[in-house]
Structure 1
Amino acid sequence: MAFVGDSLARNQMQSLLCLLATVVYPLDVSYTSDSRLKRWFYVNYNFTLASFWSPHLVKAIDTDPNGPTYNRLMNLYLDEANDVWAAQIEAFDYVIISAGRWFYGPQVFFENGKVVGCHLCLKNNIKNLTMLYGYRRDFRTAFKILTGLENFNGVTFLRTLSPAHFENGEWNRGGNCIRTRPVSRGEMKLEGDDLELYLTQVEELRRAEREGKKRGLKFRLLDINEAMVVRPDGHPNHYGHWPHENVTISDCVHWCLPGPIDTWNDFLLQMLKMERY
């Protein structure tokens, strides 16, 4: 089983790893020392679990690796594979793919090796395009890679966008997530950019489903949206840092407390059972 995506995909993978570790301990068979690219083998079950860090899914080049984390200009090659995962994914029976939050930053979009536009790049000689332009093409390319791999016969799960819960401001303008309990259904909902990203994901998955059928490949929707919208209590807020760190920004994107993110794997395990039957 392989997880492809950003740190939220790694969150789910780590949750599943902890669940499996209550039964047996795996062997670390990672091919690199990079903690973002890990692989574990469960000898008792002949089962491999892997994580491929690829927050943009496609080939991406950081133009300023030493720059600020939230404002780096990325060159995204929208029609090219990220070989970090694409070159190894054929061997897996199940692939869980997701991406989202890294697309909010400045990006220059390339297609056929040429610049076609950008998002927030602040360059007057480049056509301005929306974040959704790059986002849609990234997912389309990722799914196209999977359907085009000659020896890939696995099931692909799209784990949908994990909702953020910033209140009282944006992430960099005093927003926080101080709630300690779930909210009632309808009290919060997916809206704005998050809703557009979610709908784009689903549309591209349906497109991949149609293409995959021609080869007998299966694409499944692991939709966590509705269950997670009502869980603003699961984020670390400003407790996601060491006490000695001088960090004032709250984290209302990642998940810290047990419960919410474990639900993703409850859904996944049930869907795996359904595939079996």
Structure 2
Amino acid sequence: MITLSTISQVEMPVDVYKDANDRFRTWYFPSHDFTLRTLWTKFLVVGTQRVINGSASSVFDIHVDKIDMQWAEKLHEIDYAIISDGHWFFRKMYLYEGDKLIGCVFCTDTNVTNVGLSFAIRRAFQTALKFVNGCNECRDLITLIRTFSPAHFEHGTWNDGGRCNRTMPLSEGKVNLGGTEWEVRNVQVEEVERAMMNGWKRYRVLDVTKAMLMRADGHPGSHWNNNGMDGYNDCVHWCLPGPIDAWNDLLLGVLKKEPSLH
């Protein structure tokens, strides 16, 4: 986890809180009077999983204009927020605004417009950053957007034979800056720039996408006999030391530029 792995080398934290699903966590470092929190959300905005034939499906109803308060309600208690999101949007979704259906993603419905992945992510980030801008109690908050980090599935997706078993980084020339991952990254950066122009809050970008596109070797994949997900390779949740550790260096570099830290 970004930051926790770095700080815990100096001081072991007090495990203050963990919810039943291990999604909301709080750690406290007494000697540094520093609190670290993880606030979990699928889409930044309200998303409801559809139940089909009595079972949870992989289809979601997303209200792109309604913030997910489970994470957002805690922002006024935080000095620095790192927002990262994207992978949950890679599934069939129906989008609503003002409680009216406005489109879908990864769908083939004849009577609903497929608005595309980037539209859904853009609207979710717009709503999230609009909430930050309107948070009167968040006046000193610095919000950092960590851009999209690819999963590097090859020869299929997570549930149809995809794998991430490369052992060497890609060269810069082999990185695809025209693919979906880069498109998602551009949407995120554009919305941060828009928020900076239109708001009085402080925003920063942790732009990790290009560097992470090169690190296709960063996933354990089949090299650790990962069969925990019904035999599927997990190229998202587990990473080897190195690539994600670099995010800490980037975060520290960005924070060092903040006047409040000098």
Relative to the length of structure 2, the TM-score reads: 0.89
**Within 1, Cα distance between the matches of 2:162 and 2:33?**
45
Tell me which of 197, 202, 218 is aligned to 2:189: 202
One-letter identity of the residue aligned with 1:238 = S
Cα 1:172–1:232 change in 2 (3 A) is same
Structure 1 residue runs of 5 or longer lacking an equivalent are 1-13
Q: Are 1:258 and 2:241 counterparts?
A: yes
Residues 47-105 of structure 1: CA distance to partner in whole angstroms, max 9, x if unpaired?
1111111120111111139435xxx1111110111111111111111000011111110
191-200 vs 97-106, greater mean Cα deviation: 191-200
Report percent identity of matched pairs. Answer: 38
CA gap 1:210/1:135 in 2 versus in 1, 3 angstroms: same
Give the partner amino acid of 1:271.
V
Q: Which amino acid aligns with 1:274?
A: K
Q: Which residue of 1 aligns with 2:56?
A: 67
Tell me which amino acid in the other structure corresponds to 2:56: G
Distance 1:109 1:189 in 2: 29
Give the whole-Å Cα distance in 1 for the aligned partners of 2:39 and 2:229.
30
The alpha carbon displacement at 1:246 in A equals: 7.2
Of the three residues 77, 83, 92, the one matched with 1:91 is: 77
Secondary structure of the 1:209 match is helix
Contact 2:144 2:205 in 1 (8 A): yes
Residue number in structure 1 paired with 2:209: 225
Match of 1:48 among 35, 42, 46: 35
**Residue 114 of structure 1, CA deviation:** 1.6
Match of 2:161 in 1: 174
Separation in structure 1 between the aligned mates of residue 136 and residue 162 of structure 2, nearest angstrom: 47
> Structure 1: how far apart are the matches of 2:126 and 2:20?
30
User: After the TM superposition, which of the residue ranges 102-111 and 18-27 deviates more from structure 2?
Assistant: 18-27
1: CA distance, partners of 2:178 / 2:42? 22
Structure 1 contact 73–121 (Cα < 8 Å) conserved = no
**Gapped regions of structure 2 (runs ≥ 5):** none
Task: State how far apart, in whole Å, the 2-side matches of 1:271 and 1:167 are.
Answer: 33
Return the TM-score normalized by structure 1. 0.85
Partner of 1:82: 68
SS in 2 for 1:220: strand
- RMSD of the alignment, in Å? 2.1
Please give the alpha-carbon distance, in whole angstroms, between the structure 2 residues aligned to 1:23 and 1:203.
36
What number of residue pairs does the alignment pair up?
Answer: 257
